[in-house]
Structures are given as C-alpha cells and as structure tokens.
Amino acid sequence: MNFLFVIFIFIAIASGIGGLSVVLYRQILIRKLKGKSAVSFFERLKEIYFYIKKYIININSNFVRNNFYKQIENSLKIINYDSKINKEQFLFFQEINSILFFILSLFILNDFLFAICFCVVGFYFPVIILKFKVDNKKEQILKEIPDALDIIAANIEGGLSINQAITRYASRNKNFFSEEILLVLKKVQLGKSFEEGLRELDEKLMMREISSIINSLIQAGKIGGNIKKIIKDQAEEIRKKRFQFLKKKAYEAPVKLLIPLILFIFPVIFIVLFGPIIIKILNGF
C-alpha cells in the first residue's frame, strides 16, 4: 500500500513538473516572438499561475451548468461579489481548497483515507463560508429594516418625497440595507425606473420582508395612499415578526442544549461521581 502510494505521489509530482515545464517553455517562445525582454522568476511563476487558472476556469465552465452553481451565483449576487468572482472561478477556489486540505491532512495525519475525507470537506468549505455570509447579511438587514423605515417615515413627515426620503437615508447611513438602496439609486441614475430597481432588489435578496415592503411602496405609488402610515405599519409588522422569531429561538434553546449536555457534560459528571467508586471496586476496596 505504501509502495503504491509513493508511486502515485511520484507520478503526480513528475506530471506537475512536466506540465509546468511545457507551459514555461511556451511562455518563453511567445515572449521571444513578440520581441519582449526576459522576466524575473517570480513574474514567470505568476504568469504560469494565471495561465493554468485561465485554462482550468475554461474547463470548469462545463461543470457549473446545474442548479447547485446557479444557487452559488445567486448567493454571490446577494453579497455583491458577482462583479469580483463568477461561478467558474468559485469552482476553481473549491478545487484549490480541496487540494490544500488533502495535502495538509496527509502530512499531519499520515492517512490516505482521512486525507480523502478532508479533501471533500475542503471542497465544500467555501460553500459553507458563502452560506454563512449570505445568512449573516440577511439577518443584519432584517435588524436594520425597522429603524430604516422609521427614519424614512420621519423624512417624509419633514416634507420629502418617498424617493428623496430613501435617498437621504441611504446617503446618511452605513449598513447593509443602505448599501443595497445605494445600488438601486445607481441603477436609477443609469436610466432604470425606481420601481424596476426595487423589483431587482427584491429578486436579488429573496426575503419576504423586503418583498412585502417593496410591494406596498409600489402599490401605494400607483393607486395612492398614506405612504408614511404604510411605512410605519411595515416597520411595526417586521418588529413583531422578529420578536416572535427570537421568542421561538429562546424556546428552542433548552432543547438544543440537551445534545451537548448528554454528549459532553453528563459523562464528565458520571466519571467524577462514580469513577472513584469503580476504581475501589476494581482494586477490591
């Protein structure tokens, strides 16, 4: 088993060195044909890295045409990372991460099966981080919405229109919700209507609270109504929903605590209480 593993590692390293040599030689020939001067070793490694990355990303485009990576793409949009990284690049980072997890676990644990398990964990680790970021942003927005609506309603009471009130709030506050409103306002400046911008925000975040607010604002703008009262009612409703959610979490906490109590705390208590007795029985008093 160890002999086969050594052969596998040797073949992998040799293949990697051979591939890098071919890429390096190709880059040198391209530079000579273009009449460019020689570059340093680190710049050459950087070029090789970007060349390999581009090649792998092109291959990855064949593996991201499914619902899983469609959801990844939507998650990247929610945290506004879609302009920095696409789903093909995300898959590339998953692949790099899985290789790093495999190599580190192999050197630390010296077990090939455990290394394979950690390789799988490493592949899905970026997905876990992305989900955490999305959930955190939605939770923060849910906290910010009631106060934001109160401020917007106060601005309307001061004589501003709904658009001006929202713009004033977004420009004077720095949080997740104001960032999203600013992105909507930028789209409006580029030619979209305010309603279209709000609709796109609704499709992007996919939150029931946001959908309710946007639908109420658009409906009030079309058929008329007391916008200030609508906004205040929405703020109060979201506060009640959040209070009910936190109340539910508080009731669920004792049940969730049973698992760590049973697994970690009760065994220690039993060992402390009955350990000396068992030792005495085994030693014959």
Residue whose token pair is 């790093």: 100
Angle at 173 between CA 170 and CA 177, to 5 degrees: 60
Contacts of 138 (CB under 8 A, 6+ apart): 78, 205, 207
For the segment 170-181, the average pLDDT, to the nearest whole number, is 90
> Which whole-number Å values give the CA distances from 268 to 264, 272, 273, 279, in the listed order?
7, 6, 9, 16
Rounded Cα gap, residues 30 and 50, in angstroms = 15
Q: Is residue 107 part of a domain?
A: no
Domain CATH code at residue 210: 1.20.81
**Amino acid making up residue 91:** L
Q: Is residue 203 part of a domain?
A: yes
Q: Which of 23-27, 167-171, 186-190 has the lowest mean pLDDT?
A: 23-27
Q: Is residue 156 part of a domain?
A: yes
| Domains of the chain: total | 1
Rounded Cα gap, residues 233 and 217, in angstroms = 12
Q: Is residue 180 part of a domain?
A: yes
- Structure confidence at residue 180 (pLDDT): 92
Contacts of 78 (CB under 8 A, 6+ apart): 134, 137, 138, 204, 205, 206
Q: Is residue 232 part of a domain?
A: yes
- In tens, the pLDDT along 25-55 reads 666 666 666 666 555 556 666 766 777 788 8
Rounded Cα gap, residues 149 and 181, in angstroms = 12
Q: Which of 19-33, 47-61, 192-206, 244-258 has the lowest mean pLDDT?
A: 19-33
Mean pLDDT score of the chain, rounded to an integer? Answer: 81
- Structure confidence at residue 106 (pLDDT): 83
The residue length of the chain stands at 285
Q: Is residue 106 part of a domain?
A: no
Q: Is residue 6 part of a domain?
A: no
Q: Is residue 216 part of a domain?
A: yes
> Which whole-number Å values give the CA distances from 65 to 61, 72, 77, 272, in the listed order?
7, 11, 17, 56
Q: Which of 43-47, 193-197, 249-253 shows the highest mean pLDDT?
A: 193-197
For residue 83, the surrounding DSSP H or E stretch is none
Q: Which domain holds residue 189?
A: 138-243
